[in-house]
Amino acid sequence: MIGGGINGAGIAADAAGRGLRVMLVEKGDLASGTSSWSTKLIHGGLRYLEFYEFSLVRKALLERDVLTRAAPHIIKPLAFNIPQLPTSRPAIMLRAGLLLYDFLAKSSIFQRSRGITFDSQSPLRPNITKGFEYWDAQVDDSRLVVINAQQAAEKGAVILNYTECTALAETESGWRVGLKDSRSGVERQVQARAVVNAAGPWVARLLTKLFGKKPPLDTRLVKGSHILVPKLHEGKQALMLQHTDGRVIFVIPYLDVYSLVGTTEAEFDGELETVKIADAEIDYLIEVTNSYFTKQLTRSDVISTYSGVRPLIDEEGKEATKVSRDYHLEPHAGRAPLLSVYGGKVTTYRTLAEDVMAALAPTFSNLGEPWTKQAQLPGGHYASESDLRRELAELAPWAPVSLRERWQQTYGSAVRALLSGKSSLQSLGDCFGGDLFAAEVDYLIAHEWARSADDILWRRTKLGYVFDTLNSGALTTLEAYVRTRCESEGRAKAELDD
Protein backbone atom coordinates (compact mmCIF):
# COMPACT_ATOMS: atom_id res chain seq x y z
CA MET A 1 0.00 0.00 0.00
CA ILE A 2 1.61 3.26 -1.15
CA GLY A 3 0.29 6.38 0.58
CA GLY A 4 -0.50 7.13 4.20
CA GLY A 5 -3.51 9.37 3.71
CA ILE A 6 -7.09 8.45 4.53
CA ASN A 7 -7.53 6.20 1.49
CA GLY A 8 -4.29 4.31 2.03
CA ALA A 9 -4.93 3.83 5.75
CA GLY A 10 -8.52 2.78 5.14
CA ILE A 11 -7.56 0.24 2.47
CA ALA A 12 -4.78 -1.14 4.67
CA ALA A 13 -7.23 -1.66 7.55
CA ASP A 14 -9.83 -3.36 5.35
CA ALA A 15 -7.26 -5.62 3.69
CA ALA A 16 -5.59 -6.63 6.95
CA GLY A 17 -8.95 -7.43 8.49
CA ARG A 18 -9.69 -9.81 5.60
CA GLY A 19 -6.62 -11.88 6.33
CA LEU A 20 -4.08 -10.34 3.93
CA ARG A 21 -0.50 -9.56 4.90
CA VAL A 22 -0.32 -5.80 4.45
CA MET A 23 2.44 -3.21 4.42
CA LEU A 24 1.64 0.49 4.19
CA VAL A 25 4.42 2.89 3.25
CA GLU A 26 4.30 6.69 3.32
CA LYS A 27 7.23 8.90 2.33
CA GLY A 28 6.30 11.51 4.95
CA ASP A 29 4.14 11.27 8.04
CA LEU A 30 0.68 9.75 8.11
CA ALA A 31 -1.87 12.34 6.96
CA SER A 32 0.87 14.83 6.13
CA GLY A 33 -0.65 15.61 2.73
CA THR A 34 -4.20 16.38 1.67
CA SER A 35 -5.76 14.34 4.47
CA SER A 36 -4.77 16.85 7.15
CA TRP A 37 -5.67 19.95 5.12
CA SER A 38 -9.36 19.36 4.43
CA THR A 39 -12.38 21.39 5.60
CA LYS A 40 -12.64 18.73 8.34
CA LEU A 41 -16.14 17.59 7.49
CA ILE A 42 -17.89 14.26 7.13
CA HIS A 43 -20.71 15.26 4.83
CA GLY A 44 -22.92 14.21 1.97
CA GLY A 45 -22.02 17.26 -0.11
CA LEU A 46 -25.17 19.35 -0.32
CA ARG A 47 -23.88 21.41 -3.25
CA TYR A 48 -23.14 18.29 -5.31
CA LEU A 49 -26.89 17.95 -5.80
CA GLU A 50 -26.66 20.94 -8.15
CA PHE A 51 -24.46 18.83 -10.42
CA TYR A 52 -26.88 15.85 -10.26
CA GLU A 53 -24.41 13.64 -8.39
CA PHE A 54 -27.22 11.91 -6.51
CA SER A 55 -25.41 8.59 -6.22
CA LEU A 56 -22.30 10.18 -4.69
CA VAL A 57 -24.38 12.22 -2.23
CA ARG A 58 -26.39 9.17 -1.21
CA LYS A 59 -23.23 7.09 -0.71
CA ALA A 60 -21.60 9.85 1.33
CA LEU A 61 -24.69 10.40 3.49
CA LEU A 62 -24.86 6.71 4.35
CA GLU A 63 -21.17 6.75 5.23
CA ARG A 64 -21.72 9.83 7.41
CA ASP A 65 -23.80 7.67 9.78
CA VAL A 66 -21.42 4.69 9.62
CA LEU A 67 -18.36 6.79 10.48
CA THR A 68 -20.09 8.81 13.20
CA ARG A 69 -20.94 5.56 14.97
CA ALA A 70 -17.44 4.15 14.41
CA ALA A 71 -15.48 7.13 15.78
CA PRO A 72 -17.79 9.27 17.94
CA HIS A 73 -14.85 10.85 19.79
CA ILE A 74 -13.53 12.61 16.67
CA ILE A 75 -16.69 12.84 14.52
CA LYS A 76 -19.47 15.05 15.88
CA PRO A 77 -22.82 16.08 14.37
CA LEU A 78 -22.79 19.79 13.51
CA ALA A 79 -25.62 22.15 12.55
CA PHE A 80 -25.08 24.31 9.46
CA ASN A 81 -27.00 27.56 9.07
CA ILE A 82 -27.51 28.94 5.55
CA PRO A 83 -28.29 32.67 5.71
CA GLN A 84 -30.12 34.10 2.71
CA LEU A 85 -29.09 37.23 0.82
CA PRO A 86 -30.93 38.67 -2.19
CA THR A 87 -28.11 37.29 -4.36
CA SER A 88 -28.37 33.77 -2.86
CA ARG A 89 -29.90 30.77 -4.53
CA PRO A 90 -33.72 31.02 -4.52
CA ALA A 91 -35.24 29.89 -1.22
CA ILE A 92 -37.49 27.38 -2.96
CA MET A 93 -34.47 25.83 -4.68
CA LEU A 94 -32.60 25.48 -1.38
CA ARG A 95 -35.63 24.04 0.40
CA ALA A 96 -36.07 21.47 -2.35
CA GLY A 97 -32.39 20.55 -2.18
CA LEU A 98 -32.50 20.16 1.60
CA LEU A 99 -35.59 17.97 1.44
CA LEU A 100 -33.82 15.77 -1.10
CA TYR A 101 -30.74 15.71 1.18
CA ASP A 102 -32.92 14.53 4.09
CA PHE A 103 -34.60 11.91 1.89
CA LEU A 104 -31.30 10.50 0.62
CA ALA A 105 -29.89 10.33 4.14
CA LYS A 106 -32.79 8.75 6.06
CA SER A 107 -30.57 9.15 9.11
CA SER A 108 -31.28 8.04 12.68
CA ILE A 109 -28.43 10.20 13.99
CA PHE A 110 -28.71 13.54 12.20
CA GLN A 111 -31.62 15.94 12.48
CA ARG A 112 -33.67 16.99 9.48
CA SER A 113 -33.38 20.40 7.84
CA ARG A 114 -35.68 23.31 8.67
CA GLY A 115 -36.27 26.99 7.99
CA ILE A 116 -34.83 29.42 10.55
CA THR A 117 -34.86 33.15 11.34
CA PHE A 118 -32.03 35.37 12.57
CA ASP A 119 -32.88 37.88 15.31
CA SER A 120 -31.14 40.99 16.60
CA GLN A 121 -28.66 38.85 18.56
CA SER A 122 -27.39 37.26 15.38
CA PRO A 123 -23.74 37.89 14.38
CA LEU A 124 -24.96 38.49 10.84
CA ARG A 125 -25.77 41.78 9.17
CA PRO A 126 -29.18 43.23 10.16
CA ASN A 127 -30.64 42.73 6.68
CA ILE A 128 -30.16 38.94 6.98
CA THR A 129 -33.24 37.62 8.73
CA LYS A 130 -34.05 34.26 7.16
CA GLY A 131 -32.30 31.07 6.20
CA PHE A 132 -32.16 27.33 6.60
CA GLU A 133 -30.50 24.78 8.85
CA TYR A 134 -29.25 21.29 8.04
CA TRP A 135 -26.84 18.84 9.67
CA ASP A 136 -23.55 17.17 8.76
CA ALA A 137 -20.51 16.30 10.90
CA GLN A 138 -17.13 17.71 11.85
CA VAL A 139 -14.05 15.47 11.99
CA ASP A 140 -10.45 15.62 13.13
CA ASP A 141 -9.19 14.56 9.70
CA SER A 142 -5.60 13.68 10.54
CA ARG A 143 -6.65 11.62 13.56
CA LEU A 144 -9.10 9.72 11.37
CA VAL A 145 -6.11 8.64 9.29
CA VAL A 146 -4.09 7.65 12.36
CA ILE A 147 -6.83 5.54 13.93
CA ASN A 148 -7.38 3.74 10.62
CA ALA A 149 -3.66 2.97 10.60
CA GLN A 150 -4.02 1.73 14.18
CA GLN A 151 -6.93 -0.47 13.14
CA ALA A 152 -4.78 -1.88 10.32
CA ALA A 153 -1.91 -2.55 12.74
CA GLU A 154 -4.27 -4.30 15.17
CA LYS A 155 -5.14 -6.66 12.32
CA GLY A 156 -1.47 -7.34 11.61
CA ALA A 157 -0.51 -4.68 9.04
CA VAL A 158 2.99 -3.17 9.05
CA ILE A 159 2.83 0.65 9.06
CA LEU A 160 5.94 2.47 7.85
CA ASN A 161 5.78 6.23 7.71
CA TYR A 162 8.83 8.15 6.49
CA THR A 163 9.38 5.32 4.01
CA GLU A 164 9.35 6.06 0.28
CA CYS A 165 8.54 3.65 -2.54
CA THR A 166 11.42 4.15 -4.97
CA ALA A 167 10.99 1.29 -7.45
CA LEU A 168 8.48 -1.25 -8.75
CA ALA A 169 9.51 -4.23 -10.85
CA GLU A 170 7.21 -7.01 -12.04
CA THR A 171 8.17 -10.56 -11.06
CA GLU A 172 6.59 -13.96 -11.69
CA SER A 173 4.82 -13.76 -8.33
CA GLY A 174 3.88 -10.07 -8.32
CA TRP A 175 6.09 -7.08 -7.56
CA ARG A 176 9.54 -6.38 -6.22
CA VAL A 177 9.21 -3.10 -4.33
CA GLY A 178 12.13 -0.81 -3.56
CA LEU A 179 11.81 1.13 -0.30
CA LYS A 180 13.92 3.88 1.20
CA ASP A 181 13.86 5.20 4.74
CA SER A 182 13.32 8.93 4.21
CA ARG A 183 15.41 9.82 7.26
CA SER A 184 18.30 7.38 7.40
CA GLY A 185 18.53 6.76 3.65
CA VAL A 186 18.63 2.98 4.22
CA GLU A 187 17.18 1.06 1.26
CA ARG A 188 15.66 -2.40 1.03
CA GLN A 189 13.36 -4.52 -1.11
CA VAL A 190 10.17 -6.42 -0.34
CA GLN A 191 7.97 -8.75 -2.38
CA ALA A 192 4.25 -8.12 -2.86
CA ARG A 193 1.57 -10.00 -4.77
CA ALA A 194 -0.33 -6.76 -5.38
CA VAL A 195 0.29 -3.02 -5.03
CA VAL A 196 -2.22 -0.24 -4.45
CA ASN A 197 -1.14 3.29 -5.36
CA ALA A 198 -3.09 5.55 -3.00
CA ALA A 199 -0.65 8.46 -3.15
CA GLY A 200 -3.37 11.11 -3.38
CA PRO A 201 -2.28 14.10 -5.47
CA TRP A 202 0.98 12.25 -6.21
CA VAL A 203 -0.84 9.27 -7.76
CA ALA A 204 -0.08 10.06 -11.42
CA ARG A 205 3.33 11.64 -10.72
CA LEU A 206 4.39 8.52 -8.81
CA LEU A 207 3.51 6.29 -11.76
CA THR A 208 5.50 8.57 -14.07
CA LYS A 209 8.47 8.41 -11.70
CA LEU A 210 8.36 4.62 -11.24
CA PHE A 211 7.74 3.63 -14.87
CA GLY A 212 9.34 6.51 -16.76
CA LYS A 213 6.27 7.43 -18.78
CA LYS A 214 3.10 9.41 -18.34
CA PRO A 215 0.17 7.21 -17.18
CA PRO A 216 -2.91 6.94 -19.42
CA LEU A 217 -5.07 8.62 -16.78
CA ASP A 218 -4.04 11.95 -15.24
CA THR A 219 -5.33 13.85 -12.21
CA ARG A 220 -6.98 17.24 -12.01
CA LEU A 221 -5.22 18.97 -9.13
CA VAL A 222 -7.33 21.55 -7.31
CA LYS A 223 -6.01 23.59 -4.41
CA GLY A 224 -8.31 24.35 -1.49
CA SER A 225 -7.22 26.96 1.05
CA HIS A 226 -8.49 27.96 4.50
CA ILE A 227 -7.87 30.74 6.97
CA LEU A 228 -8.11 30.57 10.75
CA VAL A 229 -9.45 33.67 12.54
CA PRO A 230 -10.66 34.54 16.07
CA LYS A 231 -14.09 33.05 16.68
CA LEU A 232 -16.64 35.01 14.65
CA HIS A 233 -19.77 33.97 16.52
CA GLU A 234 -20.99 32.30 19.67
CA GLY A 235 -22.83 29.04 19.44
CA LYS A 236 -21.78 25.65 18.12
CA GLN A 237 -23.32 25.93 14.67
CA ALA A 238 -21.39 26.40 11.44
CA LEU A 239 -22.49 28.68 8.62
CA MET A 240 -22.57 28.01 4.90
CA LEU A 241 -22.20 31.26 2.98
CA GLN A 242 -23.26 31.60 -0.64
CA HIS A 243 -21.19 33.90 -2.81
CA THR A 244 -22.30 35.69 -5.96
CA ASP A 245 -20.00 33.45 -8.07
CA GLY A 246 -22.05 30.40 -7.08
CA ARG A 247 -19.47 28.97 -4.69
CA VAL A 248 -20.09 28.29 -0.99
CA ILE A 249 -17.77 29.07 1.91
CA PHE A 250 -17.98 27.46 5.33
CA VAL A 251 -17.40 29.27 8.63
CA ILE A 252 -16.89 26.51 11.19
CA PRO A 253 -16.28 26.69 14.96
CA TYR A 254 -12.81 25.25 15.55
CA LEU A 255 -10.94 24.36 18.75
CA ASP A 256 -13.34 26.46 20.85
CA VAL A 257 -11.71 29.84 20.18
CA TYR A 258 -11.33 29.98 16.38
CA SER A 259 -13.39 30.03 13.22
CA LEU A 260 -12.18 28.01 10.24
CA VAL A 261 -13.09 29.72 6.97
CA GLY A 262 -12.86 27.92 3.62
CA THR A 263 -12.46 26.59 1.13
CA THR A 264 -11.29 28.05 -2.16
CA GLU A 265 -10.94 26.01 -5.35
CA ALA A 266 -8.10 26.87 -7.71
CA GLU A 267 -6.31 24.88 -10.39
CA PHE A 268 -2.86 23.77 -9.22
CA ASP A 269 0.22 22.72 -11.18
CA GLY A 270 3.08 23.44 -8.80
CA GLU A 271 5.26 21.60 -6.32
CA LEU A 272 3.05 19.46 -4.11
CA GLU A 273 5.51 19.66 -1.22
CA THR A 274 5.21 23.46 -0.99
CA VAL A 275 1.53 24.28 -1.31
CA LYS A 276 0.61 27.69 0.10
CA ILE A 277 -2.38 29.98 0.12
CA ALA A 278 -2.25 32.90 -2.31
CA ASP A 279 -2.95 36.49 -1.29
CA ALA A 280 -5.95 36.50 -3.63
CA GLU A 281 -7.41 33.51 -1.81
CA ILE A 282 -7.10 35.23 1.56
CA ASP A 283 -8.80 38.32 0.16
CA TYR A 284 -11.57 36.18 -1.36
CA LEU A 285 -12.34 34.39 1.92
CA ILE A 286 -12.35 37.67 3.84
CA GLU A 287 -14.61 39.32 1.24
CA VAL A 288 -17.20 36.53 1.36
CA THR A 289 -17.20 36.44 5.15
CA ASN A 290 -17.55 40.23 5.44
CA SER A 291 -20.56 40.21 3.15
CA TYR A 292 -22.45 38.30 5.83
CA PHE A 293 -21.01 39.14 9.26
CA THR A 294 -21.38 42.33 11.26
CA LYS A 295 -17.86 41.85 12.55
CA GLN A 296 -15.54 42.71 9.67
CA LEU A 297 -12.34 40.78 9.12
CA THR A 298 -9.06 42.27 7.97
CA ARG A 299 -5.75 40.67 7.03
CA SER A 300 -4.50 41.28 10.58
CA ASP A 301 -7.19 38.91 11.94
CA VAL A 302 -5.78 35.91 10.07
CA ILE A 303 -4.03 33.77 12.67
CA SER A 304 -3.04 30.90 10.42
CA THR A 305 -3.64 29.47 6.94
CA TYR A 306 -3.34 26.13 5.22
CA SER A 307 -3.77 24.70 1.75
CA GLY A 308 -4.30 21.20 0.45
CA VAL A 309 -4.41 19.77 -3.06
CA ARG A 310 -7.27 17.47 -4.00
CA PRO A 311 -6.59 14.85 -6.66
CA LEU A 312 -9.78 14.90 -8.72
CA ILE A 313 -10.64 12.81 -11.76
CA ASP A 314 -9.67 14.82 -14.83
CA GLU A 315 -12.82 15.88 -16.68
CA GLU A 316 -11.89 18.12 -19.58
CA GLY A 317 -13.92 21.26 -20.04
CA LYS A 318 -15.35 21.35 -16.52
CA GLU A 319 -14.65 24.13 -14.04
CA ALA A 320 -12.79 23.06 -10.89
CA THR A 321 -15.90 23.59 -8.76
CA LYS A 322 -17.90 21.19 -10.96
CA VAL A 323 -15.44 18.31 -11.24
CA SER A 324 -16.75 15.17 -9.53
CA ARG A 325 -15.55 14.32 -6.01
CA ASP A 326 -16.19 10.63 -6.65
CA TYR A 327 -13.32 8.16 -7.04
CA HIS A 328 -12.02 5.91 -9.78
CA LEU A 329 -9.83 2.80 -9.57
CA GLU A 330 -7.43 2.44 -12.49
CA PRO A 331 -5.77 -0.97 -13.07
CA HIS A 332 -2.22 -1.26 -14.37
CA ALA A 333 -1.82 -2.70 -17.86
CA GLY A 334 0.78 -5.30 -16.83
CA ARG A 335 0.43 -8.86 -15.53
CA ALA A 336 0.99 -8.13 -11.83
CA PRO A 337 -1.91 -6.45 -9.99
CA LEU A 338 -1.39 -2.70 -9.53
CA LEU A 339 -4.35 -0.51 -8.77
CA SER A 340 -4.20 3.31 -8.66
CA VAL A 341 -6.76 5.36 -6.75
CA TYR A 342 -7.93 8.59 -8.38
CA GLY A 343 -10.19 11.13 -6.69
CA GLY A 344 -12.29 10.47 -3.62
CA LYS A 345 -13.15 12.38 -0.46
CA VAL A 346 -12.68 11.81 3.25
CA THR A 347 -16.30 10.75 3.78
CA THR A 348 -16.23 7.87 1.29
CA TYR A 349 -12.83 6.35 2.12
CA ARG A 350 -14.36 3.20 3.65
CA THR A 351 -16.50 2.32 0.62
CA LEU A 352 -13.51 3.08 -1.60
CA ALA A 353 -11.53 0.50 0.41
CA GLU A 354 -14.28 -2.07 -0.10
CA ASP A 355 -14.23 -1.41 -3.84
CA VAL A 356 -10.45 -1.87 -3.90
CA MET A 357 -10.84 -5.22 -2.16
CA ALA A 358 -13.47 -6.27 -4.70
CA ALA A 359 -11.11 -5.33 -7.54
CA LEU A 360 -8.28 -7.38 -5.97
CA ALA A 361 -10.44 -10.38 -5.09
CA PRO A 362 -9.36 -12.42 -8.16
CA THR A 363 -5.76 -12.22 -6.92
CA PHE A 364 -6.56 -13.42 -3.40
CA SER A 365 -8.77 -16.52 -3.44
CA ASN A 366 -9.05 -16.68 0.36
CA LEU A 367 -10.03 -13.03 0.81
CA GLY A 368 -12.30 -12.53 3.82
CA GLU A 369 -15.69 -10.86 3.78
CA PRO A 370 -16.29 -7.11 4.17
CA TRP A 371 -16.18 -6.20 7.86
CA THR A 372 -15.53 -2.49 8.44
CA LYS A 373 -19.14 -1.26 8.23
CA GLN A 374 -19.98 -2.56 11.70
CA ALA A 375 -16.54 -2.08 13.27
CA GLN A 376 -15.62 0.53 15.86
CA LEU A 377 -12.45 2.46 15.10
CA PRO A 378 -9.78 2.66 17.83
CA GLY A 379 -10.93 5.08 20.51
CA GLY A 380 -14.61 4.59 19.72
CA HIS A 381 -15.25 1.81 22.25
CA TYR A 382 -17.51 3.50 24.81
CA ALA A 383 -21.23 3.71 25.48
CA SER A 384 -21.65 7.50 25.63
CA GLU A 385 -19.71 10.73 26.05
CA SER A 386 -20.98 11.12 29.61
CA ASP A 387 -19.97 7.57 30.54
CA LEU A 388 -16.46 8.08 29.18
CA ARG A 389 -16.21 11.44 30.94
CA ARG A 390 -17.09 9.80 34.27
CA GLU A 391 -14.63 6.96 33.66
CA LEU A 392 -11.87 9.40 32.84
CA ALA A 393 -12.62 11.43 35.99
CA GLU A 394 -12.23 8.21 38.01
CA LEU A 395 -9.01 7.25 36.22
CA ALA A 396 -7.40 10.69 36.59
CA PRO A 397 -9.18 12.80 39.26
CA TRP A 398 -5.87 14.61 39.70
CA ALA A 399 -5.81 15.93 36.10
CA PRO A 400 -7.33 19.35 35.28
CA VAL A 401 -10.79 19.09 33.70
CA SER A 402 -9.57 20.89 30.56
CA LEU A 403 -6.82 18.29 30.11
CA ARG A 404 -9.23 15.39 30.57
CA GLU A 405 -11.59 16.96 28.03
CA ARG A 406 -8.79 17.29 25.46
CA TRP A 407 -7.72 13.70 26.03
CA GLN A 408 -11.29 12.49 25.61
CA GLN A 409 -11.88 14.42 22.39
CA THR A 410 -8.51 13.29 21.00
CA TYR A 411 -8.18 9.66 22.06
CA GLY A 412 -11.64 8.53 23.12
CA SER A 413 -11.48 5.18 24.91
CA ALA A 414 -7.78 4.83 23.95
CA VAL A 415 -7.03 7.27 26.77
CA ARG A 416 -7.11 4.19 29.00
CA ALA A 417 -3.84 3.04 27.46
CA LEU A 418 -2.33 6.51 27.70
CA LEU A 419 -3.10 6.63 31.44
CA SER A 420 -2.02 3.08 32.22
CA GLY A 421 0.18 3.17 35.32
CA LYS A 422 -0.32 6.92 35.87
CA SER A 423 -1.47 8.02 39.33
CA SER A 424 -0.69 11.72 39.54
CA LEU A 425 0.11 14.78 37.47
CA GLN A 426 3.76 14.24 38.38
CA SER A 427 3.64 10.70 36.95
CA LEU A 428 2.98 12.21 33.51
CA GLY A 429 6.54 13.52 33.44
CA ASP A 430 7.76 16.88 32.18
CA CYS A 431 5.34 19.40 30.70
CA PHE A 432 6.62 20.86 27.43
CA GLY A 433 4.06 23.63 27.16
CA GLY A 434 0.31 24.04 27.22
CA ASP A 435 -0.86 20.75 28.69
CA LEU A 436 1.43 18.42 26.73
CA PHE A 437 3.26 16.05 29.08
CA ALA A 438 6.00 13.51 28.41
CA ALA A 439 3.63 10.57 28.99
CA GLU A 440 1.44 11.69 26.07
CA VAL A 441 4.47 12.18 23.83
CA ASP A 442 5.72 8.70 24.75
CA TYR A 443 2.31 7.26 23.94
CA LEU A 444 2.24 8.95 20.52
CA ILE A 445 5.71 7.68 19.66
CA ALA A 446 4.97 4.12 20.80
CA HIS A 447 1.40 3.73 19.51
CA GLU A 448 0.82 6.33 16.77
CA TRP A 449 4.10 6.42 14.81
CA ALA A 450 4.95 10.03 15.78
CA ARG A 451 8.55 10.82 14.85
CA SER A 452 8.80 14.61 15.17
CA ALA A 453 7.38 17.55 17.07
CA ASP A 454 5.31 18.44 13.99
CA ASP A 455 3.80 14.96 13.93
CA ILE A 456 2.65 15.47 17.51
CA LEU A 457 1.61 19.12 17.44
CA TRP A 458 -0.23 19.22 14.11
CA ARG A 459 -1.38 15.71 13.15
CA ARG A 460 -1.77 13.69 16.39
CA THR A 461 -3.03 16.75 18.31
CA LYS A 462 -3.75 20.36 17.39
CA LEU A 463 -1.48 21.77 20.09
CA GLY A 464 0.60 23.50 17.43
CA TYR A 465 -1.64 26.55 17.81
CA VAL A 466 -0.81 26.64 21.52
CA PHE A 467 2.90 26.18 20.92
CA ASP A 468 2.85 29.02 18.40
CA THR A 469 2.12 31.36 21.32
CA LEU A 470 4.88 29.96 23.53
CA ASN A 471 8.55 30.90 23.47
CA SER A 472 10.73 29.08 20.97
CA GLY A 473 12.43 27.18 23.79
CA ALA A 474 9.30 25.06 24.33
CA LEU A 475 9.41 23.73 20.78
CA THR A 476 13.17 23.18 20.91
CA THR A 477 12.82 21.18 24.12
CA LEU A 478 10.05 19.06 22.66
CA GLU A 479 12.00 18.40 19.46
CA ALA A 480 15.03 17.25 21.45
CA TYR A 481 12.92 14.96 23.62
CA VAL A 482 11.17 13.36 20.61
CA ARG A 483 14.47 12.85 18.83
CA THR A 484 16.00 11.14 21.87
CA ARG A 485 12.97 8.92 22.45
CA CYS A 486 12.81 7.88 18.79
CA GLU A 487 16.52 7.04 18.75
CA SER A 488 16.06 4.98 21.90
CA GLU A 489 13.06 3.16 20.41
CA GLY A 490 15.02 2.52 17.20
CA ARG A 491 17.91 0.96 19.14
CA ALA A 492 15.52 -1.23 21.13
CA LYS A 493 13.79 -2.42 17.93
CA ALA A 494 17.14 -3.20 16.30
CA GLU A 495 18.19 -5.28 19.33
CA LEU A 496 14.86 -7.12 19.22
CA ASP A 497 15.24 -7.83 15.50
CA ASP A 498 18.75 -9.15 16.09
Q: Burial, 243: exposed, middle or buried (Cβ in 10 Å; 0-12, 13-18, 19+)? A: middle
The four Cα atoms 125, 89, 313, 250 give a dihedral, to 10 degrees, of 20
CA gap 250, 233 in Å, rounded: 13
What pLDDT is stored for residue 8 in this prediction? Answer: 98
Residue 137 has pLDDT above 90, yes or no: yes
Residue 316 has pLDDT above 90, yes or no: no
Q: Which sequence spans correspond to the domains of the chain?
A: 1-40+140-217+315-379, 385-497
Query: Which residues have CB under 8 Å from 395's CB, separation 6+?
Result: 415, 416, 419
Q: Say which residue, 404 or 310, is predicted with more confidence.
A: 404
Local confidence band at 318 (pLDDT 50, 70, 90 cut-offs) = low
What pLDDT is stored for residue 470 in this prediction? Answer: 84
- Give the pairing of strands 248-254 and 238-242: antiparallel
The neighbour count for residue 150, using CB atoms within 10 Å, is 23
Instruction: Please give the model's pTM, rounded to 2 decimal places.
Output: 0.96
Any bridge partners for residue 168, and if so which?
177
Residue 264 has pLDDT above 70, yes or no: yes
What pLDDT is stored for residue 469 in this prediction? Answer: 83
Least confident stretch, 281-295, 341-355, 429-443, 478-492: 478-492
Residue 311 has pLDDT above 50, yes or no: yes
Specify the CATH class of 1-40+140-217+315-379 in words: alpha beta
Encode pLDDT of 147-191 as tens digits.
999 999 999 999 999 999 999 999 999 999 999 999 899 999 999
Cβ atoms 297, 286 nearer than 8 A? yes
Is it true that the peptide bond before 263 is cis, omega within 30 degrees of 0? yes
Cβ atoms 147, 378 nearer than 8 A? yes
What pLDDT is stored for residue 496 in this prediction? Answer: 47
Query: Which residues have CB under 8 Å from 270's CB, separation 6+?
Result: none
Sign of CA dihedral 160, 162, 163, 166: positive
DSSP 457: I
Encode pLDDT of 329-381 as tens digits.
999 988 999 999 999 899 999 999 999 999 999 999 999 999 999 999 999 99
Query: Which residues have CB under 8 Å from 152's CB, separation 6+?
Result: 9, 12, 13, 15, 16, 17, 22, 24, 159
**Ramachandran angles phi, psi of 232, nearest 5°:** -85, -20
CA gap 260, 462 in Å, rounded: 13
| Ranges of H-type helices in 212-312 | 279-290
Encode pLDDT of 408-430 as tens digits.
999 999 999 999 999 999 999 99
Residue 315 has pLDDT above 70, yes or no: no
Q: Which helix (H) or strand (E) holds 141?
A: helix 141-154
Q: Rounded to the nearest 5 degrees, what angle is found at the Cα of 401, between the Cα atoms of 395 and 404?
A: 50
Local confidence band at 94 (pLDDT 50, 70, 90 cut-offs) = very high
CATH of domain 385-497: 1.10.8.870
CA gap 242, 55 in Å, rounded: 24
Encode pLDDT of 280-290 as tens digits.
999 999 999 99
Q: What percent of the chain has pLDDT over 70?
A: 96
Residue 320 has pLDDT above 90, yes or no: no
Residue 116 has pLDDT above 80, yes or no: yes
Average pLDDT over residues 114-135: 96
Encode pLDDT of 190-227 as tens digits.
999 999 999 999 999 999 999 999 998 888 899 999 99
CA gap 289, 27 in Å, rounded: 37
Q: Say which residue, 407 or 333, is predicted with more confidence.
A: 407
282 half-sphere exposure, CB direction, 13 A CA radius:
17
CA gap 103, 337 in Å, rounded: 39
